[in-house]
Amino acid sequence: MKFNYHFHINHYITIFYIALTLVSCSNSEEKDRDHLVFRYNQYENVSSLDPAFARDVANIWATNQLFNGLVQLDDNLHIKPDIAKRWEISEDALHYTFYLRDDVKFHKHTSFNTKDSTRRVVAKDFVYSFNRLKDPKVASPGNWVLKNVKHYHAVNDTILKIDLNMPFPAFLGLLSMRYCSVVPKEAVSYYGDEFRAHPIGTGPFKFKLWEENVKLVFRKNQLYFEKDDNGKQLPYLEAVAVTFLPDKQSEFLQFAKGKIDLLNSLDASYKDELLTPSGKLRDKYKDRINISKGPYLNSEYLGFYLDTEKEEIQSLLLRKAVNHGFDRKKMITYLKNGIGMPAENGFIPKGIPGYANIPGFEYNPEKSRELVEAYKKETGDNEPTVRIATDANYQTICEYIQRELEKIGINIIVDVMPSSTIRQKKWAGKLDTFRASWIADYPDAENFLSPYYSKNHTPNGPNYTHFKNETFDRLYEESFLITDDQIREQYYAKMDSIIVAHAPIVPLYYDEVVRFTQKNVRGLTNNPQNFLILKRVWKEKLD
């Protein structure tokens, strides 16, 4: 069945749309269609639906439903075909040739000025999309993805060639990022800056409605090219509806009432209500919801801004004292209900090639006190004070660290502020110490080392700490030239050891994906990047 969405919506779609946008309807109507709609809450607001700005989880989750790239990742982080059905890589790893599918169409829109209001994706669309990603006028935070790309061009409609300046083993993983999605020139030209709120892509769902900070609705893309193993067209769902309740307690209450299908967080306000101290689902919820856990390529940490003039932050003695001064295992057990792994082995998390179990910072209060005393003797500062900026979600963890470090002689001030404020000040170098997360953008341990490469100092890159070490930089640059995975991983381990030795950060824990879903949700799988993939999800109809 085909619809002209610009001029005609029949009676069925009108009723369905009303149900989708959460306007009141009868209980029987809503119940009858509930299994067709996947609902989730995004407490961190979506700032853009343009994939060029898919920088944080909220934007990535939304744009994952709307766009495709050349390649994609499966749940085990293996590179799989997407719009590119296959590819060839030259022996020197500098030249990539992608062979594109010829059956991928953009979402329908009048800007295409064609009979059926759409057209096929061709190789030059990727050339346009990459040019746009690099355009300074667009100011995409993802422009760094193509920094190592020397040249790219469309050979014809179905062949795209990309040449690199130097080998980069993780390049295919980079191309899986949402930044590298294909977008149509016609729609971008039509909307200009407002493309952020009127996205046209190729994904399993298409844009329907966005009332910013209130609700977001996607509809099934009837033209989507992917099929399941039985040949059935994806996606299974008719729609996705997103709400924007601003706090996790409200989100939990909506989930407990069955109003949303997914809870993707474990907030302090309700974690003990849901889970036992050992991380098991409490009996009262076992018949109502499901829980799933898995590795998450996310390192939680405290970062020191090393370009500050504060003696406490400049001092390696005090930075190491902080690292040794609290028990990460106790923190995970009592504050995280056993979710996560203590970060006692550097910054590279478990679950990604390159993790080498290197010695990190174990809990050692005696050593921590000795380091504090050495700092006092060296500087004459007898009351060292460190301010930690955090948002409310991590307040209890920072206050735990505060209590523990005060025992060994360091005064800690915990500044609670909105996450958006922290993000802005972190980029501007206006926070001496900050709580942060580093989530893998692509499945290579190099991704966890780029925040410590000196040429990536903010605002030019993600080096928020402004750490600089010549040996680290040399190893980082040399690692790009190594095609042998085992040798390259040895380089990664050396770099991770340098981070530990110079302590520009305080690794806290390696996170885990924990998802709670309603009992009737099927096909929603975990992945180590915690991306939301809904094209294979369906819901059983409730009686």
The segments of the chain whose pLDDT lies below 70 read 1-32
What is d(CA 89, CA 293) in angstroms, rounded to the nearest whole number?
A: 35
Classified as helix, coil or strand, 260 is coil
Closest CA to 335 of 394, 257, 407: 394
Give me the torsion for CA of 440, 445, 446, 448, rounded to 10°. 50
Reference 43, options 254, 196, 204, 198; nearest CA is 254
Model pLDDT, residue 524: 96
198-233 burial, b if ≥16 CB within 10 A, otherwise e?
A: bbbbbbbbbbbebeeeeebbbbbbebbbbeeeeeee
- In this structure, which amino acid lies at residue 231? G
Residue 350: name the closest of 511, 503, 526, 488 by CA: 511
Rounded to whole angstroms, how far apart are CA atoms 469 and 451?
12
Count of alpha carbons within 13 Å of 450, Cβ hemisphere only? 18
- What DSSP assignment string belongs to 52-101? GG--SHHHHHHHHTT---SEEE-TT--EEESSEEEEEE-TTS-EEEEEE-
What are the two backbone dihedrals, phi and then psi, of residue 342, each rounded to the nearest 5 degrees? Answer: -55, 135
**CB-facing half-sphere around the CA of 118: CA atoms within 13 A:** 19
Per-residue pLDDT, 441: 79
What crossing angle do the helices spanning 485-502 and 470-479 adopt, rounded to 10°? 160
432-485 pLDDT, tens digit each = 999 999 988 788 899 999 999 999 999 888 999 999 999 999 999 998 888 788
User: Rounded to an integer, what distance in angstroms lies between the CA atom of residue 323 and that of residue 344?
Assistant: 10
**Residue range 366-382, pLDDT digits in tens:** 999 999 999 999 999 99
Pairing outcome for strands 239-243 and 37-41: parallel
CB atoms within 10 A of CB 269: 15
pTM of the model: 0.77
Q: Indicate the average pLDDT of the chain.
A: 91
Q: Which amino acid is at 82?
A: D
Q: State the residue for tokens 């990535």.
A: 60
How many CB atoms within 10 Å of residue 403? 10
Residue 445 to residue 517: CA distance in whole angstroms: 30
Pairing of strands 385-390, 205-211: unpaired
Residues in the chain: 543
pLDDT on residue 193: 94
Distance CA 520, CA 541 (A): 7
pLDDT of residue 357: 86
